[in-house]
């Protein structure tokens, strides 16, 4: 069976271009997780472009149902995580380790990461960040799913949307769809690394 990760990296490069940085993190008892940084220089300067951070390694193993007695080594959803922020406004490169922690959570905690889920790292995503958690959004926009040979599930590239603590608490009560609707109607720039919470009254 083909190694999944080279195919995943090829898909990332096809969609986002060449990464300009990468870091690897290994947690005890887990496979290595890499985080690749892709910089979009549109707008003529580093402070006007978009920087994207994508994990590489989460999809090496399928995510297992935490209630299953024995994890299936082949079948099950596979995913990588993608975070997009505006470059130059904050030291967002420090997000590499928190992203790797989130990408390792299926192996460490037996989580199945899916759209609508909240993931919390328990600390600011980067120094001074007003966010400690993210909302997992639907895949398929920026990077198309990577189809694998049967019986493997496709790899989905799940966007992460940073949430303030107030937004995360509100989402727990009202749901992911309601929070995304608030963001949409308020014209929230979800890529702004220093944005404030959307009005939740």
Q: Identify the domain containing residue 143 by its residue range.
A: 4-185
Spatial distance between the Cα atoms of 100 and 173, rounded to a whole number of angstroms: 28
Average pLDDT over residues 33-57: 78
CB atoms within 10 A of CB 38: 21
Domain-embedded: residue 102:
yes
pLDDT at 44: 40
**Comparing C-alpha atoms, which of 92, 59, 58, 82 is closest to residue 140?**
82
pLDDT at 118: 95
Q: Indicate the range of 43-52, 111-120, 157-166 predicted with least confidence.
A: 43-52
Domain-embedded: residue 190:
no
Average pLDDT over residues 43-57: 74
Total of domains in the chain: 1
pLDDT at 76: 87
Say if residue 31's pLDDT is above 90.
Answer: no
The highest-confidence range among 53-67, 95-109, 138-152, 176-190, by mean pLDDT, is 176-190
Domain-embedded: residue 199:
no
pLDDT at 48: 53
Sheet holding 133-136, edge to edge: 21-25, 33-40, 50-56, 78-86, 155-163, 133-136, 118-120
Say if residue 43's pLDDT is above 50.
Answer: no
pLDDT at 188: 95
Domain-embedded: residue 201:
no
- Beta-strand runs (E) in 77-144: 78-86, 118-120, 133-136
pLDDT tens-digit series, residues 55-103:
999 999 999 876 666 666 677 899 999 999 999 888 999 999 999 999 9
The single-letter DSSP state of residue 197 is P
Domain-embedded: residue 10:
yes
The model carries a pTM of 0.91
Average pLDDT over residues 120-148: 93
């Amino acid at each position: 069976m083909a190694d999944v990760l080279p195919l995943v990296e090829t898909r990332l490069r096809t969609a986002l271009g060449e990464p300009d940085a990468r870091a690897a993190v290994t947690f005890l008892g887990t496979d290595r997780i890499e985080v690749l940084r892709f910089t979009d220089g549109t707008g003529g300067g580093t402070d006007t472009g978009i920087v994207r951070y994508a994990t590489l390694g989460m999809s090496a193993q399928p995510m297992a149902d935490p209630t299953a007695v024995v994890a299936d080594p082949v079948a099950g959803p596979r995913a990588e995580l993608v975070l997009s922020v505006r470059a130059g406004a904050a030291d967002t490169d420090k997000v590499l380790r928190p992203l790797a922690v989130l990408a390792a959570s299926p192996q460490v905690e037996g989580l199945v990461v899916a759209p609508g889920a909240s993931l919390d790292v328990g600390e600011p995503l980067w120094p001074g960040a007003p966010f400690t958690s993210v909302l997992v959004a639907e895949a398929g926009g920026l990077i198309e799913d990577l189809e694998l040979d049967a019986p493997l599930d496709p790899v989905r590239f799940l966007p992460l949307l940073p949430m303030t603590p107030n937004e995360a608490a509100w989402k727990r009560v009202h749901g992911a769809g309601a929070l995304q609707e608030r963001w949409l109607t308020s014209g929230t720039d979800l890529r702004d690394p220093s944005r404030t919470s959307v009005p939740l009254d």
